[in-house]
Amino acid sequence: MIEATEPLKILHLISQHPESTGSGFYVQNIISQAAAAGHQNFLIAGITGSQIPHIPGIDRDCCRFVRFENGDLNFTIPGMSNVMPYSSSRFDALNARQLTAYERVFAETIRQAAQDFSPDILHTHHLWLASSVARTVLPDLPMVTSCHSTDLRQFVQCPHLRERVRPSCLKIDRVLALSRDQSKKIQEIHGITAARIDIVGGGYDQELFIPSVKAQAPPIRLLYAGKLSLAKGVDWLLQTFAGLHDPRLHLHIAGSGSGEEARQCLNLAEKEGSRVTVHGGINQQELARLMGSCHIFVLPSFYEGLPLVLLEAVASGCRIIATDLPGCQELLAGAGPDLAAFVNLPVLSTIDRPDPKDLGILQTHLAAAVTGMADRVRIAPSPPLAEASRITSVSSWRAVFERILVSYEKAMAG
């Protein structure tokens, strides 16, 4: 068994753009922490065309990319979510020829990277096709896979692909879950035993997201940050905001999307004129500044794993309004009403969308939560910082990586 203090050679794999989305930021931070601890990193990732990303903590020579659109594969990169912040296709729309080509190119890239790098361990992201390919290509290399919840949603939405995924994923040494609820879902969906699942959680950048002194209200600044999609609830947030004729409130929307859903969200924002500021896609530094200036962070999602953006918002001194998804409740466990308010969700008609008849009552509940939290901001612009610190104290990326190192050791010992 290799001790945690001995440098490791870690081969990382993510099938989509590594410089955006929650799983991409997760990969970046794990690579950064590994490099800081003296370990060697090698990254395989999917990209579009010649858009080479810069990933801190890893040299360009230690990266291999599967290029979509006029590259290794001549179709648009499929996203783990049906709506991505960049141009993407959907796994359920790939034909047999494209699926075969996808698996073949990833297999060739993984095999070559393993030959060039001679890794001690393989760390993949998403219990999905690329991880399945990696387990098949490198059956004897110790392997851990991080689940990000979007992979579980793909498994439900793409029943015709399950047999391409499940057999190999059952052979992964350790599966890393973000939360207790996610661990249960992995067991239910994949049949992976609890003994092979480690709950490592998610993290935030303690140096970037720090408590700030909030300006006196009004205006009371609300913020949503994330993909512009219906599964994230951006449309009903904007529809709810449109019905709040409160001159104290100003809503900021940060994030991007593609396709009709993003256009629908942007059209709703445009109708509100100067009451809503749309920032588009922004980097982590810009997000930290924006969170530092806002009073309330709103996460109206219908589907989440462990939303790390909530950690960033809490660390930045924001009050929180979120739907009562298990991941949100687990992350904010014990938060008092002066810090967090939850909006109860009805039974969803699909995995990430309620029945349209329930949207009216949802808007009523969200409006009440916004109004109530706005009243708290008027009295005290910042929430109790000691309570916020308690929630974020175990969620630095360093602490997360230390838990991941334990999983590496278990995988190598097995």
Over residues 267-279, the mean pLDDT reads 96
Distance CA 132, CA 124 (A): 10
User: pLDDT digit string (tens) for 81-134?
Assistant: 887 888 899 999 999 999 999 999 999 999 999 999 999 999 999 999 999 999
- Which CATH superfamily groups domain 9-203+396-413? Glycogen Phosphorylase B; (3.40.50.2000)
CB 297 within 8 A of CB 291: yes
Rounded CA Rg of the chain: 21
Name the DSSP class of 202. Answer: -
pLDDT band, very low/low/confident/very high, at 5 (cuts 50, 70, 90): low
The whole-number pLDDT of residue 380 equals 95
Name the DSSP class of 159. Answer: G
The whole-number pLDDT of residue 134 equals 98
What single letter denotes the amino acid at residue 325? Answer: L
User: pLDDT digit string (tens) for 62-94?
Assistant: 999 999 998 899 999 999 988 788 889 999 999
**Nearest C-alpha neighbor of 16 from the set 49, 47, 41, 42:** 47
**Nearest C-alpha neighbor of 237 from the set 112, 142, 140, 363:** 363
**Nearest C-alpha neighbor of 125 from the set 201, 12, 8:** 12
User: pLDDT digit string (tens) for 11-48?
Assistant: 999 999 998 788 998 999 999 999 999 999 999 999 99
Would the pLDDT of 1 be above 60? no
What are the start and end residues of each CATH 3.40.50.2000 domain in the chain? 9-203+396-413, 220-392
Angle of helix 259-271 relative to helix 234-242, nearest 10 degrees, comes to 10
Would the pLDDT of 3 be above 70? no
Over residues 275-286, the mean pLDDT reads 94
Per the model's pLDDT, the better-predicted residue between 284 and 3 turns out to be 284
Would the pLDDT of 162 be above 90? yes
Residue range 220-392 in CATH 3.40.50.2000: yes
3-state secondary structure of 34: helix
User: pLDDT digit string (tens) for 184-210?
Assistant: 999 999 999 999 999 999 888 888 999
Over residues 377-390, the mean pLDDT reads 91
